[in-house]
Chains A and B, each alone.
Chain A
Amino acid sequence: MQLAHTISELNQALAVADAQGRRVGFVPTMGALHEGHLSLIRKAQADSLFVVVSIFVNPRQFGEGDDLRNYPRTLGVDARILTDLGVDVLFAPSVQEVYPESGVQEISAGELGQRLEGEFRPGHFDGMLTVVNRLFNLVGPDVAFFGAKDAQQLMLVKNMVRAQVANGDREPISIVGCETIRDSEGLALSSRNQRIPADQIPAARSIYRALVAGSKHKSRQDCLDAVTRELDPIIRLEYLELVDPETFAAAQSTEGARLVIACWVGEVRLIDNLLLGGSA
């Protein structure tokens, strides 16, 4: 594996892939890698791609307050994991490299970006799309891999790329959404999980159990009620919605809908979701 800290180092590394005629698979991350990230990387490797993993904690997708400061960051640990995994390139740029004084195109997440996650984290999706677009421009991937845990993010990235390709602004990138990886009791893996105190892990694990309980019902209200009943009482709910998986507009029946949740377990904000109607 090569570590590229600058864009010119990244370009040198990408020239190797180009010379070998290999297609580039890209896994953008914010570090603090866990089994969920590794599953994306293994998927890319299984597809025989030249695998580029980026680690960049994007200041623009964090709001006011402590979340950015508390976000776990240990590049040294991640570099060890990726070296063991045999990734081709680790791109770990500085903030200055990603956001030079000028020339970075700001992307708006539009109406979908205002809802659910967007409502509680204003500006989050604009910042996320801006950095993903920037990283796509730098890495030039053929395929990019995202976790389904961030379902709304995945949809926004797909929409952005589709629009850009339609406008002739970008070569097509295949956006692959990968199944959420969970611990033995269903807790969706997240870098934030390391900050959950041990005695609150059982509460965090009730999230998935609650989503599964909701999935057993047909009507919207029965479904949402079942989820609420099953959640551990210490959980503070931010939103719980049954939505259309494409538009994220409210759905009336669980059939083919996505059940999405964001909540706080102590000081840690967690999100999860479940696609209902069998095809999860």
Chain B
Amino acid sequence: MKIGVIGDDPAGPVLAKAWANAGHELVGVFVESPEAIERIEALLPDVPINNMAAVAEDADLLVLAIPSSDLEITCAGLADLGLFGPKKIVVHLSPLLGYSILADAARFGAIPIALHPVMHFTGTSMDLTVLKNTTVAISAPEPLEPIAQALAIELGAEPVVVTEAQRAAYAEAFEVASSFSSLVVKQALGILEAADVPNPARLIAPVVRSAVEDALAEPVGRIDPKDVL
């Protein structure tokens, strides 16, 4: 498939590179910030930087690597330009939203997919290795889920289907897991630092890691984070 990427999110060029390694063709990217342009030049030096409409038009698989808040309006704008047909796949990478946010693309027959690799992106080739060991939350209209799964497998990752109804829970859990865990670790580090203990991070790293591993291995019970803090 011809792949195009729109947006400055560092995940965009990394996924594009991984799909290119799996045999797809990269046809163009649209990026704005100097950092994003630099990432493209480093990671995808042969891929032309183009305007948004041209990228959307040329791509069979269009990756929207833009902030969640811009997804709806961008999708609507591209739809108004007549750039979504039944041959296209449109993917967004936000953990916070399902595929419904791409309704304007789907209206014209494009396949809407929410695809969220559960990892932190630096926008460098190092991400490609991490990607191979990560899970990818995918959401798509049920009959089309295999296409989304296949795209995740091509990244070398393990797809996990999150239905549209489960998406709000996924967004909440992702927020809790990513922000609260760093908050709690920082709190512990602060306590040690205040007591002048040298190298606090190194000191508590093992317990932080094992606590997380233990918690992940335990049977699930619902905990309200407000009760813990």
Contacts and interface: CB of A to CB of B under 8 A. Distances in A.
Contacts of B159: 3, 5
Interface in A90-122: 90, 92, 94
B219 interface: no
Given A3-B150, A5-B159, A83 B23 contact: no
Interface of B: 1, 19, 22-24, 61, 89, 143-147, 149-151, 153-154, 158-159
A83 B158 contact: no
A90 B159 CA distance: 14
Contact of B1 (A1, A5, A74, A83): A74
Contacts of B143: 1, 83
26 contacts: A1-B143, A2-B146, A3-B145, A3-B146, A3-B150, A5-B149, A5-B158, A72-B23, A73-B22, A75-B150, A76-B150, A76-B151, A76-B154, A78-B150, A79-B146, A79-B149, A79-B150, A79-B151, A80-B89, A82-B146, A83-B143, A83-B144, A83-B147, A90-B150, A92-B150, A94-B153
A165 interface: no
A5 B160 CA distance: 10
A77 interface: yes
A2 B146 CA distance: 6
Contacts of B146: 1-3, 79, 82-83, 90
A75 B153 contact: yes
A94 B24 CA distance: 19
B158 A76 contact: no
Nearest to A31: B23
B23 A74 contact: yes
Interface string A163-177: 000000000000000
The dominant DSSP class at the A interface is: mixed
A76 to B, nearest CB: 5
The dominant DSSP class at the B interface is: helix
Contacts of A77: 1
Given A3-B150, A5-B153, A76 B24 contact: yes
Contacts of A80: 89, 147
Interface string A36-57: 0000000000000000000000
Contacts of A72: 23
Contacts of A76: 1, 19, 22, 24, 61, 89, 147, 150-151, 154
- Which bucket holds chain A's interface residue count? 10 to 19
A198 B159 CA distance: 37
A7 to B, nearest CB: 14
Nearest to A80: B147
A74 B23 CA distance: 6
A53 B143 CA distance: 17
Contacts of B145: 3
A69 to B, nearest CB: 11
Contacts of B23: 72-74
Contacts of A73: 22-23
A75 B159 CA distance: 13
Nearest to A78: B150
Given A74-B22, A76-B19, A83-B147, 16 more contacts: A1-B146, A2-B146, A5-B158, A5-B159, A73-B22, A74-B1, A74-B23, A75-B22, A75-B150, A76-B1, A76-B61, A79-B146, A79-B149, A79-B151, A83-B144, A92-B150
Contacts of A94: 153
B147 A74 contact: no
Contacts of A3: 145-146, 149-150, 159
A78 B150 CA distance: 9
B134 to A, nearest CB: 14
Given A5-B158, A5-B159, A83-B143, A74 B24 contact: yes
B173 to A, nearest CB: 22
A77 B151 CA distance: 9
A94 B22 CA distance: 14
A1 B24 CA distance: 23
Given A3-B149, A5-B149, A74 B144 contact: no
